[in-house]
Structure 1
Amino acid sequence: MKRLVILFYILQLVAANLKAQLAPIGQWREHMDYRSGKRVALADDKVYVATNFGAYSIGREDGEITRISKVAGLNDVGVRTLNYDAAGEKLVIAYNNSNLDVLYRNDVINIPDIFRSTVTGDKTIYNISFRNNKAYLSTGLGVIVVDLQKYEISNTFIIGNNGSNVKVNGFAADATRFYAATEEGLKVANQNAANLNDYRNWTTVSGTNGLPGGAVQQVFNINSTIVVQYFNTIYVSNAGNWQAVYNDSWRWESVNVSDAVILISEERFGWNERRVLSITSNGVINATIQNNNELRYPFHAVKSGGEIWIADFEKGLVKAEGNLFERYAVNSPYGPLDGEMFFFNNKLYVAGGSINDAWNYQFNGTGFFTFDGNEWKDYNRTNLSFMDTVFDVITIAVDPRDETIYAGSFGGGLLEFKSATQYKIYKQNSSLNVAIGDPNNYRVGGMAFDAANNLWISNFAGSNNFLVKKADGNWRAFRVPFLIQDNMVGAVLIDDADQKWIQVPQGNGLFVYNHGTSIDNAGDDRWKWFQTGRGSGNLPSNAVNCMVKDKDGFIWLGTDKGIAIIQCPGDVFTTNGCEAFQPVVQQDNFAGFLFENEDVRAIAVDAANRKWVGTRNGVWLISADGEKVLERFTAENSPLLSNAIIRIAIDPKTGEVYFSTFNGICSYRGGATKANENPDKVIVFPSPVPPSYNGNIGIRGLPENSIVKIVELNGRLVYQTRSLGGQAIWNGKDYRNQRVSSGVYMVLAKDEFGAEKQVGKIVFIK
């Protein structure tokens, strides 16, 4: 009877927790750009689409979207092209760096030989063709043959004139011969030649029998007829003679042969017209797919029966069937997002604009984005026409009173956004100053709200280069009292003493400003310039890339020569002053200055006051005091999309850490969450714990740094730990490192006052 009661109790807990499951601690997610389609391939039951950064598949019957990325098991990012071998049921993905992945059923097989090769020249993979369990890669070196059964490079055809490398654009075969479309023309070889990597076994046929000389863009076999693309003309072979069967004056994005037709994706310059043509091998147009609303920038197309699947640069994947169009949208941001990134009220805000290292604008119209944990929303000129001039949004702030969004453009002024119909753009109608030497250009370099809801703004290159839009809506302008080239000012941070820390770009340190008793009284304003050298701030470098305030109120600075900490920001303007110091970190029994030779680009503080540090060489997690390295993530040892980190932001509620890189955004569920002073709302995940689960169990919503005990129903202690902020982590094992038995375990938490209370239950199921 006792077993039946426990089983009934377990089942009730299972049902109660089904809707409350959270992703396991230590799990990665990616948030790459899947909106721009560039290549498409067909399988029996799926359509595969390549984007600039990853790939995805669509179920042809159910429309189910599956992302194919490094987080899902791929070995790289930045997809150049892909193709599907129907005979071998294998998807081949070629990356921009010439790395190669083969997807077969549930396996991903990496073939890195081309990527790792030290050979000089253009190793780019431009096209992929298949024949007899082999993939023929058209590259800048020649034709590289991959054995798809042994998963290895089996041959390389170096077929340029006199044995040189030549760019190959496409490859095809008929019953007896191979055809290579190269920059030197169409080259042909007998398949049974003794040595196909000898250029002398290849004959250039361009310039003979009706085929013009010079570069050939593509070659295909369509029902045993060889088809060649020569710029904007299609030629077909007839008994060794070549005949032009179709041409037009549009710009051809791609030509493909699929389901016994030729598909041309093209654009008519100056007319805002784009279309896909379906043409027979004798040059007859049998279908024109054109709809400027549904099809914006067709890049590549394939056909199956009455369906034409089109990779569109703006729309992603579009299926055209007669006059009907269906778009398959994958929710994601646009491209890599370079601007500021932070959380407010459980929502991620990301500025998508760009500036280069010299702080010049890039005319990036990406705008800004929000992410609620499941859905990305974009705000830019694509869906908000008034943002046409608000380019390069590099900084963003949210008014804590009503969540009005302020987006700072590096050239287009300041956008105040409440909704699509309630907005205002500040330029000459405010205290913003036009950039010196750049008329009509208003540059916002950084922003931050203070505790009194005043918005502080750095006005890069403005004559009065530091501003405040006060909580009552009135503006006040200041001029930084130091001589600095172009009056340049960047990011803004406000400390616990209400002082403003202002980044000075291009290796000029940072300013600190204290407005005294009143913003409007300039008489007691104080300024300080932090730079290298004792007595001047003691920074390790004047190139300050980032700054953050930790839970102790300390200011952490990331420079191109490591990290500096200011532990006494409230004493900056006292007689003795306050200077930065470099912490000494212990790693591998070696103590040294923290990241002394690292270019630190981003720092974020989690709920346990630990620091996540992003550099050009990956990510470190270090202890709260900066004296110990706890984790190290790189693109080589983890799903991190790139070692070049731009920004880091942390969701305080879930502990998920977001990394912005040049290949897009990815996230890692960390172990520290914001503390909860109401232990009745503690969440345990996963619970129930399934038999096959070997990951960490998170206990979230605990009091700050509480002592947590896991006990059996009879009170016997199984495990004890301390929470990271408001979350404790348990690997499901007891003190003997043995996995606990199935059953119900109680979670007890003791707060800082020593009061212990049962806060949750964990169910293990066989």
Structure 2
Amino acid sequence: MIKQVTSVFLFFLVLSSQAQDFSTLWQGYFSYYNIKDIAIGDNKVYGASENAIFTYDLSSNQIETITTIEGLSGETISTIAYSDAYDTLLIGYENGLIEIVSGPENEILSVVDILDKQTIPPNLKRINHFNVLDGLAYISTDFGISIYNLQRLEFGDSYFIGNGGSQINVNQTTVLNNTIYAACGNNNAIKAAALSNPNLIDYQQWQTLGSGSFVSVESVGSRLYAINANNVVYEVSNGGFTNLFTYSDLPLDTKAVNDNLVITTGNHVYVYNSNFATLATATLQSELNTRFTTATITENHIYIGTSSSGVLKTNFSNTMAYDVVRPEGPLMNDAFKIEAGNNNLWVTYGDYTVSYNPYPLRSYGLSHLVEENWINTPFSSLLNAQNLNYIAVNPFNPTQVFISACQQGILELNNEVATVLLDQNNSGLEPIAANDPSVRQTGSQFDRNGVLWTMTSRVDKALKSYNPSTGQWRGYSFSEIIQNPLLDEFGFGDLVIDRSGTKWIGAYKKGLIGFNENGNKIGYINSEEQNMPDQVVSAVAVDNNNQLWIGTIKGLRVLYNTGGFFDSPNQSVKEIVVLDDGIPQELLSSQYITDIKVDGSNNKWIGTLDAGIFYFSPDGQQTIYHFTTKNSPLPSNFIKDISIDAQNGKVYIATSKGLVSFSSGGSKPEEELASAFVYPNPVRPEYDILGASSLNDINKGVKIRGITENVNIKITDIEGNLVAEAQSRTNLRASRSNYNFAIDGGTAIWNGKNLANNIVASGVYLILISDLDSFETKVLKLLIIR
């Protein structure tokens, strides 16, 4: 029996001089399904997922999280341990980084000594285990053992204990009777030395016990146990090894907890007393479809980490029943495509190569965030649709969603349920060949009429349209530019539609393809002569001026004259040139562009392969933000996809190591002013929002939402004196002019200063909004109390 533990989902507030708190503008959406390690401390269970931590309070059952939003690095966690004496959680990473979370405010200290150590090869820096004893942490690594003083927060000696003082893999250490024992891999057996020996940095002071490779060593009471890579657990006494038991598969984790020994394999958790008598055995239930990874115990319960189900809680008296302990989150951290809108977010994990090869096939589920709650659908409920990628939500029926599968066609969902898999047998889609049933579906987009446009790789009629309301399919041949669809073009990615109905498609060989079914017009740009930096187009986006922004694997280009694309015989694209310290430079020169999105203010969000994400002004001349792992909660600089919820301006960013969002503050303009409103209203003294020098923080300033695309807004006092004024396309929030009042798409922000740059007094203020195109007007009242 399995049931989900429900609890309040909160975020830690983490403050540290070494770690920034980004919780006001950023939000993290990390997966807690794959558990790397578990620890007990401070009446809590600490669970380490791939790159985030959660705690489960044993008294209140409350779940809290620590992520990059609170200051963690976002790197891949390999082990954790808790020190009760110092109220400290130690987090070890695969790259050698150590982070220490301590105190009631959960301050985070990053320890980079091993990470930055030049004499240790990068592949040997992995932190394998922490053994905390008498204020010291004995750190097992792939190069040996390092000592860290928890009181002074500094490193001591490092022990290289291989033959000749070489660096060898140490998986775990323990101490018994003032002797330290190290379980070593690569046939280096067990190494042992007296802790009182002042010269442990000398490898000759360490003796070798036994033979072969050992994955763990642990002391329980007065006994010492070691597990060999041959799946055998031994008791070690006076240098001799007594075979106690042979496991069916390799033990993955060994812990000593309250004079008990806990050993975890992929299918079982064994709990023994100090004499190796079995106290309890937990067995993996077949319906879970996962593997055990780690475990620990409290007085009455076993907590088991899994590879894909989070933490399982079971009782010693009934190990057949499990509760699932896990924060809200998506299925995986490595999202491939995301689609946001109307406070919803869809996430897929399918992936394919840069040349649109779906192999190896990926049988992953999908995730859907609805009003801060995650609905995760496993692969078993998705009609065997593999390599799910682009998501298209029907604008006239948001409960109907179409997801491209780069192997089987298009998966249709209705009300969260996969209802049909559209392929060559029940739709207008085509396989690669009669003897190859692969339907390589990728980029999909609905047009303003509710017709779905979608791309199929390596077939003649590469572009298809489907009207869900009529069931009608149409196919459009690309033979004019692609003679052999199997060999001349490997695949297509992004598909966007401009105001004139032209479909713009990023391709692997043909670069940028433009197609309009009205007149059956088609063309492409992919050569150096046309100013393309590379023929591989990885991202396309149409901005609010109907200009096309093009991302390639070697840089950025813009097609300014989209209307004349099919008529000009010498069509070309342009680079953006900016001044860098007075020197003209090409914007994002040679950068691998992974995605481009345009927000309601016509600003551009551009993701890259290894340089994080950029936020540019409408013309690209100003860099509003450049977020990386160094200055933001991004867990990785590899940006996989970007999606903007136009209703609230929230920007979702999928990276290779997790999903985050940034509240930019802009929003999509409305068609009319009827819904325009101002907030907060009234502005009270305790709401310290006035006088901010920057309008980029949406938590400051007075906001006017629901405005139209082209407006003039005047703010006056009750006597009609002009206090502030802003106009769309002129007073941009991201401008270098540092306006006190600016407009960002469907939102205007005022910092409460007047034309003399002074904070206004208490009183009633009138907000006069005029649409410059329709001449519609609206008046709002605002009360400020200081």
Q: TM-score, normalization: structure 2?
A: 0.85
Aligned to 1:582: 575
Distance, in Å, in 1 between the alignment partners of 2:763 and 2:65 is: 36
Aligned to 1:393: 388
Q: 1:598 to 1:24 in 2, by over 3 A?
A: closer
Q: Does 321-330 or 627-636 show the bigger shift?
A: 321-330
Aligned to 1:158: 160
Aligned to 1:530: 525
Aligned to 2:73: 75
Aligned to 2:406: 410
Unaligned runs of 5+ in 1: 1-22, 207-212, 268-273, 517-523
* Aligned counterparts, 1:196-275, within 5 A: 196-206=200-210, 213-231=211-229, 232-267=231-266, 274-275=267-268
Aligned to 2:733: none
Aligned to 1:427: 423
Residues 606 and 673 in structure 1, CA contact (< 8 A), matched pair in contact too: yes
Residues 30 and 667 in structure 1, CA contact (< 8 A), matched pair in contact too: yes
Distance, in Å, in 2 between the alignment partners of 1:688 and 1:63 is: 37
Q: C-alpha deviations, 1:120-173, integer Å up to 9, x for none?
A: 331111111101111111101100111112222211011111110000000111
- Tell me by how many angstroms 1:698 deviates: 5.4
Aligned to 1:565: 558
Matching residue's letter, 1:540: P
Distance, in Å, in 2 between the alignment partners of 1:100 and 1:558 is: 37
Distance, in Å, in 2 between the alignment partners of 1:226 and 1:435 is: 61
- Tell me by how many angstroms 1:190 deviates: 0.9
Aligned to 1:602: 595
Distance, in Å, in 2 between the alignment partners of 1:90 and 1:312 is: 24
Q: 1:352 to 1:690 in 2, by over 3 A?
A: farther
Aligned to 1:626: 620
Q: Does 411-420 or 120-129 show the bigger shift?
A: 411-420
Query: What secondary structure is seen at the aligned counterpart in 2 of 1:498?
Result: coil
Is 2:742 the partner of 1:722? yes
Aligned to 1:9: none
- Tell me by how many angstroms 1:635 deviates: 0.9
Aligned to 2:648: 654
Matching residue's letter, 2:296: V
Aligned to 2:310: 316
Matching residue's letter, 1:722: A
Residues 35 and 330 in structure 1, CA contact (< 8 A), matched pair in contact too: no
Q: C-alpha deviations, 1:365-404, integer Å up to 9, x for none?
A: 223332234122233424x1x43x2111111212222231
Aligned to 2:732: none
Aligned to 2:85: 87
Aligned partner (choices 323, 332, 335) of residue 335 of structure 1: 332
Q: 1:132 to 1:737 in 2, by over 3 A?
A: farther
Q: 1:749 to 1:140 in 2, by over 3 A?
A: farther
- Tell me by how many angstroms 1:53 deviates: 2.3
Unaligned runs of 5+ in 2: 1-20, 693-698, 725-739
- Tell me by how many angstroms 1:718 deviates: 6.3
Distance, in Å, in 2 between the alignment partners of 1:619 and 1:53 is: 20
Is 2:664 the partner of 1:670? yes
Query: What secondary structure is seen at the aligned counterpart in 2 of 1:528?
Result: strand
Distance, in Å, in 2 between the alignment partners of 1:657 and 1:698 is: 21
Aligned partner (choices 457, 460, 475) of residue 460 of structure 1: 457
Distance, in Å, in 2 between the alignment partners of 1:50 and 1:109 is: 17
Distance, in Å, in 1 between the alignment partners of 2:289 and 2:83 is: 27
Residues 299 and 312 in structure 1, CA contact (< 8 A), matched pair in contact too: yes
* Aligned counterparts, 1:9-28, within 5 A: 27-28=25-26
Distance, in Å, in 2 between the alignment partners of 1:662 and 1:554 is: 29
Residues 458 and 490 in structure 1, CA contact (< 8 A), matched pair in contact too: yes
Matching residue's letter, 1:157: Y
- Tell me by how many angstroms 1:744 deviates: 6.2
Q: 1:75 to 1:445 in 2, by over 3 A?
A: closer
Q: 1:259 to 1:500 in 2, by over 3 A?
A: same
- Tell me by how many angstroms 1:599 deviates: 1.6
Q: Does 709-718 or 392-401 show the bigger shift?
A: 709-718
Matching residue's letter, 1:86: D
Q: C-alpha deviations, 1:679-715, integer Å up to 9, x for none?
A: 6542525965746778523514142354556667777
- Tell me by how many angstroms 1:486 deviates: 5.5
- Tell me by how many angstroms 1:104 deviates: 0.7
Distance, in Å, in 1 between the alignment partners of 2:265 and 2:446 is: 49
Distance, in Å, in 2 between the alignment partners of 1:409 and 1:158 is: 50
Q: 1:42 to 1:338 in 2, by over 3 A?
A: closer
Distance, in Å, in 2 between the alignment partners of 1:339 and 1:193 is: 53
- Tell me by how many angstroms 1:31 deviates: 1.2
Matching residue's letter, 1:201: Q
Query: What secondary structure is seen at the aligned counterpart in 1 of 2:27?
Result: strand
Q: Does 82-91 or 722-731 show the bigger shift?
A: 722-731
- Tell me by how many angstroms 1:487 deviates: 4.2
Q: 1:370 to 1:155 in 2, by over 3 A?
A: same
Query: What secondary structure is seen at the aligned counterpart in 1 of 2:139?
Result: strand
Distance, in Å, in 2 between the alignment partners of 1:108 and 1:262 is: 31
Q: C-alpha deviations, 1:547-597, integer Å up to 9, x for none?
A: 011111111111123221112212222256643211222444333222122
Q: 1:528 to 1:728 in 2, by over 3 A?
A: same
Matching residue's letter, 2:498: D
Q: C-alpha deviations, 1:23-46, integer Å up to 9, x for none?
A: 999611111212222211011321
Q: Does 318-327 or 218-227 show the bigger shift?
A: 318-327
Query: What secondary structure is seen at the aligned counterpart in 1 of 2:492?
Result: coil
Q: 1:240 to 1:204 in 2, by over 3 A?
A: closer
Q: C-alpha deviations, 1:452-475, integer Å up to 9, x for none?
A: 322222111224333222452122
Aligned to 1:748: 767
Aligned partner (choices 175, 191, 198) of residue 187 of structure 1: 191
Aligned to 1:136: 138
Distance, in Å, in 1 between the alignment partners of 2:64 and 2:784 is: 31
Is 2:321 the partner of 1:349? no
Q: C-alpha deviations, 1:481-514, integer Å up to 9, x for none?
A: 2235264331322111111122212x43022112
Residues 578 and 585 in structure 2, CA contact (< 8 A), matched pair in contact too: yes
Residues 26 and 661 in structure 2, CA contact (< 8 A), matched pair in contact too: yes
Distance, in Å, in 2 between the alignment partners of 1:279 and 1:45 is: 22
- Tell me by how many angstroms 1:99 deviates: 1.0
- Tell me by how many angstroms 1:607 deviates: 0.9
